[in-house]
Amino acid sequence: MTDVQTGLRLSGGAIAVNILLALVKVITGLVGNSYALVADGIESTADVFSSLIVWGGLRVAARPPDPSHPYGHGKAESLAGLSVALFLLGAAVLIAVQSVREILTPHHLPAWYTLVVLILVIGIKETLFRRMFAVGEQLSSNSLKGDAWHHRSDALTSLAALIGIAIALIGGEGYQDADDWAALLACGVIFYNGVRLLLPALDEVMDAAAPDEVEARIRDLARSVSGALIIEKCRVRKSGLGLLVDIHVIVDGELTVSAGHRIAHQVKEVLLESDLAVSDVVVHIEPDVYEL
């Protein structure tokens, strides 16, 4: 099982890589007359800030509950995911505006060596995406998955720039703005991914219910406890990297208070020890027959 420290190390490493790539792309793009490469560097700069947000969000989310935050600090991870999605949308808009501006401004053909830089960038960014997304899936971290999509978006804009520059170099005069059009088209993909990441992040902040299959699994686990007759209510929400569960369990009305409490404790224990990353459970016991 991947732990939070793995995510923190990966996010920290991504920050260093993004700083280096941003410098290389912006300098090469300016010297080599390729705004697509400069735009790519701008997005890498945005990636630096998003990775910092993810790193900080994970650090705060990993803190245990305290008197001021009895439910833990999980919302920090949700807020980080929301911020990363907004950064992605902002990067798409910024690159689109600058691409249009470059299309309207005549400029020289890009240099051939910009292609070499882009090929290296695509390989590095795709590797970062796959590694970070896998860790994000294992941790159920929307912020890490959002940061991973930043790397995939960077790889896509680099691929678009690569195609555009290749067309410009092959076509010669009259094709100077091919890389700018390529960067503009890549913005659509980036914007789509930003919206796709924004929606689940908003759901977490608004305490939306967990997916039906997760609730069904929790109900099944609770029913497996001896003495738990019926699961009347089950509310599940994601908070940071874990799930918070509020469950009502109906038991034999003739049981003693101690026996009912023991069943409640067993239900909580089963859920906390499951593979569902449940961080806290509130169990309410009700008798199967009672008078109001």
Residues 140 and 269 occupy one common structural domain: no
Say if residue 26 is in the same domain as residue 167: yes
Regarding whether 182 and 100 lie in a shared domain, the answer is yes
Tell me how far apart the alpha carbons of residues 39 and 61 are, in angstroms, rounded to a whole number.
33
Instruction: Say yes or no: 192 and 219 in one domain.
Output: no
β-pairing verdict for 242-251 and 230-239: antiparallel
**Could you tell me if residue 110 is inside a domain?**
yes
pLDDT of residue 291: 47
Q: What three-state secondary structure class fits 202?
A: helix
Structural domain of 134: 4-205
Residue 126 and residue 190 share a domain = yes
**C-alpha to C-alpha distances, 108 to 45, 86, 123, 160, nearest whole angstrom:** 25, 33, 27, 19
- 34 and 158 together in one domain: yes
Does a structural domain hold residue 292?
no
**What confidence score (pLDDT) does residue 223 get?**
93
Per-residue pLDDT of the chain (292 residues; tens, 9 = 90+): 456 677 677 777 778 887 888 888 888 878 887 766 776 777 677 667 777 777 777 778 778 888 888 777 877 877 877 887 887 788 788 878 877 887 787 666 777 888 888 888 889 888 888 888 888 777 777 677 777 877 787 787 778 778 877 887 787 777 767 777 777 777 777 788 778 778 888 887 887 788 889 999 999 999 999 999 999 899 998 877 788 999 999 999 889 999 999 999 999 999 999 988 888 899 999 998 754 4
Q: pTM (2 decimals)?
A: 0.62
Question: Domain check: are 100 and 36 in the same one?
Answer: yes
